[in-house]
A and B are shown apart, each in its own frame.
Chain A
Amino acid sequence: MIGIRKTFRTSVAALALAAAALALFAVACGSSDSEPTEPTSAQEPSALEVSDSASQDDVASGSGSTASQSDGDSMASDHDTDDDDGDSMSSGHDVDDADDAMASQDDMDEEDDGEAVTTQDDASEDAGEAVTTQEDVTEDSTVEPASVKIGTGVGEMPPDYYILDLEHKEITQQDQLATGRPVFYYFFTTW
């Protein structure tokens, strides 16, 4: 009977040890799953690739400041990965942050491109309006300055008038202005 009890206790102890070993193994396995070194090193190049491609896109679209910023983020990720050899949890967050950063960067690139196009369109429209305005100003200036009063007093622009030569051919105000020369009119009678 005593032998049976010893055998049972030994078996229980062995099972307990086995359970403890399994628990330790499970814990060890759980820790190794969240090990950041391999995933980080596996994703880090992709982050660089995205950043590089984003940089190329940005260079193509002319937003150089954004490309510099993404390069800076990639370098910070490298630095975090090196530091995370002893801290898997923080490394995991860094990887997630890097992914978020990548997604954010992509979003930013798309949004920036869209805004850039819209801005370009707006600029084109504005330029068109500016040209129209310039044309209007030019046309107006050929007729008369807007601030000049219509009248026959000194400093005023006379209303439309014309004279007749001895052949009764009209010489209009516009004809005279087209010459770009000043004119002196002398009114006389023959008596």
Chain B
Amino acid sequence: MQGLSEIYPQYSDKVDLYALSIDTTASDSEIVAYGQEHGLTFPMGYPGGRMVADFNIKQQSSTVALKPDGIVLHKTGYGSGGLSKYEGLLQQLADLADTAGAAN
């Protein structure tokens, strides 16, 4: 996640990124401490309601990418593809944001 935090700033003006804790034992203060320790550059939080079940999230480092219209663009399990995969996804999302902005 540290690598993701390093590349995100160049996409932050076009793509929203949230780190969502699925650690049910961690308190809010522990989550904040974890973020500070790893120098995260994006907001943190928790999945609400049935989100984990609906998206079938079973492992850490799982990711979900949604297009500007909310449609699922990408969904992977545990750390699939590594940092280069994340960078490619962020670039694709940024391009979609440009397209949606031009259409509007």
A: residues with CB less than 8 A from B are 144, 148, 151-159, 161-166, 168, 170-171, 173, 176-177, 179-191
Contacts and interface: CB of A to CB of B under 8 A. Distances in A.
Contact of B20 (A158, A163, A182): A163
Contacts, number: 158
A188 B30 CA distance: 13
B37 to A, nearest CB: 10
Contacts of B66: 158, 176, 182-185
Contact of A173 (B50, B57, B70): B70
A159 B64 CA distance: 14
14 contacts: A148-B71, A152-B64, A156-B72, A157-B72, A168-B46, A180-B97, A182-B66, A182-B68, A184-B16, A184-B93, A188-B60, A189-B21, A189-B26, A190-B34
Interface in B23-48: 23, 26, 28, 30-32, 34, 43-48
A16 B101 CA distance: 112
Contacts of A171: 45
Interface string B67-85: 1111111110000000000
Contacts of A185: 17-18, 20, 47, 63-66
A189 B46 CA distance: 11
A89 to B, nearest CB: 78
Interface residues of B, number: 58
Contacts of B74: 154
A147 to B, nearest CB: 11
Given A187-B22, A188-B22, 13 more contacts: A148-B71, A152-B56, A155-B72, A164-B45, A164-B46, A180-B97, A182-B66, A185-B63, A186-B18, A186-B19, A187-B47, A188-B20, A190-B23
Nearest to A164: B46
B75 A154 contact: yes
Contacts of B52: 187
Nearest to A165: B45
Contacts of B4: 186
Given A158-B55, A180-B101, A181-B97, A186 B61 contact: yes
B1 A186 contact: yes
Given A176-B70, A184-B63, A163 B46 contact: yes
A156 to B, nearest CB: 5
B62 interface: yes
Given A152-B75, A184-B89, A162 B49 contact: yes
B96 A182 contact: yes
A173 B55 CA distance: 13
Contact of A182 (B28, B32, B67): B67
